[in-house]
Amino acid sequence: MEKQRGHVIVLTYPAQGHINPLLQFAKRLASKGLKATLATTHYTVNSIRAGGVGVEPISDGYDDGGFKHAPSVEAYLESFKMVGSRTLNELILKFKHSASPVNCLVYDSLLPWALDVAKQLGIYGAVFLTNSASVCSMYWQIEHGLLTLPVRPEMVPLSLPGLPPLGVSDMPSFIAQPATHSAYLAVIMEKFSILEQNDWVFVNTFEDLESELAKVMSGLWPLVMVGPMVPSAFLDQQIEGDTDYGANFWEPVGDRCLRWLETKPPKSVIYVAFGSMAEIAAKQVEEIAWGLKGSNKHFLWVMKESENEKLPVEFLNSIDETGLVVTWCNQLEVLAHQAVGCFMTHCGWNSTLEGLSLGVPMLAMSRWSDQPMNAKFLEDVWRVGVRAKKDEEGILRREELEMCIKEIMVGEKSDEIRKNASMWRESAKSAVSRGGSSDKNIDKFVEVLLVGRSK
């Protein structure tokens, strides 16, 4: 049996926001002639269906329920490292005597132990960073001693190469409050300590979007920009039938949402969604509800079933056809709809890239992790939206929300915001289209694996 070159295992952390970009990367690789297999946990494997990509389970030590069955973040990450290393090794060896033995492992940056597995088996190892390059550059500078933690008052605003001046509220929460997120920060810093040991360092962004950083960091770190990782149907249309990510932990209610949107005028609807992991305090839910109601705009609000009880009953009874509250939907289809004129988002990196890729103005309500920095760029660097201000309790009040909606939808800046949003959409499309910056970077990687040339 003749052996073929070019089989990549793509290993993902089992969260929707990590699976989506890594699965999309696997589809990109498969569309260019590689054999691509997504490795994920037993708990999530049945939620994934993707044309052209194989899906195989490995164990995190909690096969029946995943992360929620672990006693702590630390315990889960340690279990995944120990059990995941062994079962990933077994998965790669399973293909050793097949027509397509594995010659590269692309792994989620939250799982840095995977590089050891690749090295032990003598195959290429590549990390995939799921944050922006700008956020990653801050961790890189901490690792290289150019930025020390904790950030003290006299250090603010921070002035770092390729980045705008940053206040404490602009920084990733893992940096702004390192003691609060020690388990995740430890994993993040571990991956940056071994960054140069990878054969490739991929990041889900594109050169035009972070051009200042790309120029400053050129030659200093081995970053390869390959994004945005958004289904092809919404950008370049190079991958046939690629209309969604192919991973769903919740049952979407897309038809109902789209039917409702069809009844609304162009650019009249505020789409509100805070990501798959969001848990919002009841007081904040109430303020958002009355802020949306007070804006006198149509709105489509995605809210997990467990959060629905936080909505005021009198609010639900008063919205009629003005608003629609659903438990889940196909976010890309909604953002692509002509009726949507504003995306109110938590500014997770995937959602930020989707808003940019679909050319939708954004209203930022960031909470933690990389979200504050994404919100900073959204307003001050890319100029595609407005960042909502919270009060001293950390609550976004209804009056502030109404004011932000007005500024985006009908205010003095609205035309400029819409124009910039359209510009970034075209830039994102260009990056992943044939011959674009991200497309060329992926082609170089594929060529190494298919032809066997040295990188």
Task: Report, as residue numbers or ranges, the catalytic residues.
Answer: 18, 108
Q: Which helix (H) or strand (E) holds 121?
A: helix 114-121
Token code pair at residue 23: 């699965």
Q: Residue 383, Cα to own-chain centre: how many angstroms?
A: 20
Cα-flanking dihedrals φ and ψ of residue 255, to 5°? -60, -45
How does DSSP classify residue 170?
G
The number of CA neighbours under 13 Å toward the Cβ of 52 is 18
Burial of 71 (0-12, 13-18, 19+ CB in 10 A): exposed
CA 452/CA 455 separation, integer angstroms: 9
Interior CA angle at 195 toward 192 and 200, to 5°? 140
Cβ partners under 8 Å of residue 446, min gap 6: 6, 29, 32, 33, 34
Q: Are 19 and 40 in contact (CB under 8 A)?
A: yes
Q: How far is CA 415 from CA 182, 358, 410, in A?
A: 42, 17, 8
Tokens 């056809």 belong to 321
Tokens 């100029």 belong to 383
- DSSP alpha helices (H): ranges in 225-264? 254-261
Cβ partners under 8 Å of residue 221, min gap 6: 137, 140, 195, 196, 201
Q: Are 195 and 344 in contact (CB under 8 A)?
A: no
Comparing CA positions, the residue from 426, 257, 228 lying closest to residue 340 is 257
Q: Are 10 and 31 in contact (CB under 8 A)?
A: no
Query: Quick count: other Cβ atoms within 10 Å of Cβ 256?
Result: 12
Cβ partners under 8 Å of residue 60, min gap 6: 14, 41, 42, 43, 66, 67, 76, 79, 80, 83, 84
